[in-house]
Amino acid sequence: MLPSEAELSAEFDASRVTIRRALELVRDEGLIDARQGFGWFVSSEPVRQHLETLGTIEAQLEDSGRHAERRVEEFAFASAPERVAAVLGVTDVLRVKRVNLADGEPFAVVTVWCPADLGRSLSLADVAERPFYELLGVELRGALLRCERVTTDARGNRVLMSEHRFPAHLTEFVVDLPQAAPSLTPSGLRLVE
């Protein structure tokens, strides 16, 4: 996100009309974009991940010529949060929180919970370098995309919360944010055949 037009006007001691015109010129160059009610932001190609097979988004980024990396922020054994305990059927988990980057820019914060018994043989270095499904040593069947979305109004007040579940073999996950258009499903989610 870029500072608001008012903030840029104050910082550069220029009128808002001048700032807006400058931003529009930079937008015409394809470097930035704007959305009504959201503001100005650095534009970039969406990060796409196909879910019909288990694979990493990092591999897909590398295949498209972009540099992908993970930065692990948390690696800890802990009590499972209530909803995680209900889904995994365990009370103790390995919790790993990481930031995913594409060409040095963060595009996702991912938290993974793994039953503690399966996670005991893993190290911080393991989860920084390889996906969980390669590390667990169990045969996996498939995936379900579960998306929890919190929607805010133009002032940043939280006004909606929703949860969405999609079968991976029918779903393509496309990060296509920011987007302010009204939607009943997470923006960027597309049904594939």
pLDDT values of the chain reduced to their tens digit, one per residue, 193 residues: 788 888 889 988 999 999 989 998 888 877 888 876 678 877 766 555 555 555 567 777 787 788 888 889 999 999 999 988 988 899 999 999 988 888 888 877 788 898 999 889 889 988 888 877 778 777 776 666 677 777 777 777 777 777 666 666 566 666 554 444 444 444 454 444 4
| DSSP symbols for 106-173 | EEEEEEEEEEHHHHTT--HHHHHHS-HHHHS-S-----EEEEEEEEE-TTS-EEEEEEEEEEGGGEEE
Q: Do 19 and 114 have their domain in common?
A: no
Q: Do 68 and 29 have their domain in common?
A: no
Q: Do 90 and 159 have their domain in common?
A: yes
Q: Do 154 and 114 have their domain in common?
A: yes
Structural domain that includes position 135: 47-191
Q: Do 75 and 151 have their domain in common?
A: yes
Q: Do 123 and 86 have their domain in common?
A: yes
Q: Do 52 and 99 have their domain in common?
A: yes
Q: Do 54 and 26 have their domain in common?
A: no
pTM value? 0.54
Q: How many structural domains compose the chain?
A: 2
